[in-house]
Amino acid sequence: MVRKSGWNTVKLKDICDFIGGGTPSKQVENFWRGNIPWISSSDLMESSIWKINITRHITAEAVAKSATHICPRNTVLVVSRVGVGKVAIAPVEVCTSQDFTSLVSKKHDARFLAYCIQIKMKIMAEKTQGTSIKGVTVENIAQMEIELPPQEEQIAIAEALSDIDSLISSLQKLIEKKKAIKQGAMQELLTGKKRLPGFSGEWKELNFAESAKLKARIGWQGLTTSEYLQSGYAYLVTGTDFHNGRIKWETCHFVDEKRYRQDLNIQIKKHDILLTKDGTIGKVAYISNIQKPTTLNSGVFVIRPAKEDSFDPNFVYHILNSFLFDNFLAKLSAGSTINHLYQKDFVDFTFKAPSELVEQQAIAQVLSDMDSELVQLEKKLAKYQQIKQGMMQELLTGRIRLVDADRKEQPKTQILQERQPAHNQHFDDAVMIAGIVNAFYSEKYPLGRKKVQKLLYLVRRKEQADISAFHKKAAGPYADEVRYKGGEPIAQKNKYIQVKRNEKGSRFEKGVQMQQALTYLQDWGKQGDVDWLVSQFQYTSVNELELLATVDMAICDLRREGKEISAASIKDLIRSNKEWRDKLKKAYFKDADIQRAIKKCEDLFES
Q: What is the DSSP string of 215-281?
A: E---GGGPPPGGG-BSS-SEEEE-GGGEETTEE-GGG-EEE-HHHHHT-GGG---TT-EEEE-BSST
In this structure, of 166-175, 301-310, 396-405, the range with the lowest mean pLDDT score is 396-405
Question: How many whole angstroms separate alpha carbon 236 and alpha carbon 23?
Answer: 50
In which band, very low, low, confident or very high, does the pLDDT at 127 lie, cut at 50, 70 and 90? low
Share of the chain above pLDDT 70, in %: 92
* Confidence band of 49 (pLDDT split at 50, 70, 90): low
Instruction: Please name the residue ranges forming H helices in 270-337.
Output: 313-320, 323-333
| Average predicted confidence (pLDDT) for the chain | 87
Residue 312 has phi, psi (to 5 degrees) of -85, 125
Which ranges in 473-566 belong to alpha helices (H)?
Answer: 480-484, 487-493, 514-523, 527-537, 542-560
Count Cβ neighbours within 10 Å for each residue of 487-521 and write b for 16 or more, e otherwise. bbebbbebebbebeeeeeebebebbeebeebbbbb
| pLDDT exceeds cutoff 80 at 281 | yes
Q: pLDDT tens digits for 434-470?
A: 999 998 988 777 899 999 999 999 998 888 888 888 9
- The confidence band for 220, taking pLDDT boundaries of 50, 70 and 90, is low
**The total number of residues written for the chain in this structure:** 607
Predicted confidence at residue 1, as pLDDT, reads 39
Is residue 363 within 8 A of residue 190, CB to CB? The reply is yes
At 146-161, the pLDDT tens digits run 999 998 999 999 989 9
The pLDDT value recorded for residue 225 is 82
What are the residues whose beta carbons fall under 8 Å from the beta carbon of 13, sequence distance 6 or more?
A: 142, 143
Minimum mean pLDDT among 273-277, 405-409, 423-427, 603-607: which range? 405-409
Segment 300-308 shows an average pLDDT of 94
Considering only CA atoms, which of 169, 163, 108, 86 is closest in space to residue 392? 163
β-strand partners of 273: 286, 303
What are 73-93's pLDDT values in tens digits?
999 999 888 778 789 999 899
**Amino acid at the residue 292:** K
Strand partners, 234: 255
Tell how strand 76-79 and strand 242-243 pair up.
unpaired
Contacts of 233 (CB under 8 A, 6+ apart): 254, 255, 256, 257, 260, 293
Q: Give per-residue pLDDT as tens, 352-399.
A: 999 999 999 999 999 999 998 898 889 888 888 888 888 888 898 888
The mean pLDDT of 547-575, rounded to a whole number, is 91
Q: For the CA atoms of the chain, what is the radius of gyration?
A: 29
> pLDDT band for position 286 (50/70/90)?
very high
Q: What are residue 353's DSSP bridge partners?
A: 204
Instruction: Tell me the torsion sign for CA atoms 350, 355, 357, 358.
Output: negative
User: With bands split at pLDDT 50, 70 and 90, how would you rate the model's confidence at 423?
Assistant: low
Label residue 372 exposed, middle or buried (CB < 10 Å: 0-12, 13-18, 19+): exposed
Cβ neighbours for 170, distance < 8 A, ≥ 6 positions apart: none
DSSP secondary structure code for residue 430 in this structure:
H
Say what the pLDDT of residue 418 is: 40
Provide the pLDDT confidence category of residue 216 given band limits of 50, 70 and 90. confident
Q: Which residues pair with 76 in a beta bridge?
A: 89, 103
CA distance 61 to 70: 12
Q: Residue 22 — very low, low, confident or very high, per pLDDT cuts 50/70/90? A: very high
Q: What would the mean pLDDT of 567-583 be, rounded to a whole number? A: 92
In Å, how far are 192, 320, 325, 355, 359 from 204, measured between CA atoms? 11, 17, 17, 6, 12
Q: Is pLDDT of 417 > 60?
A: no
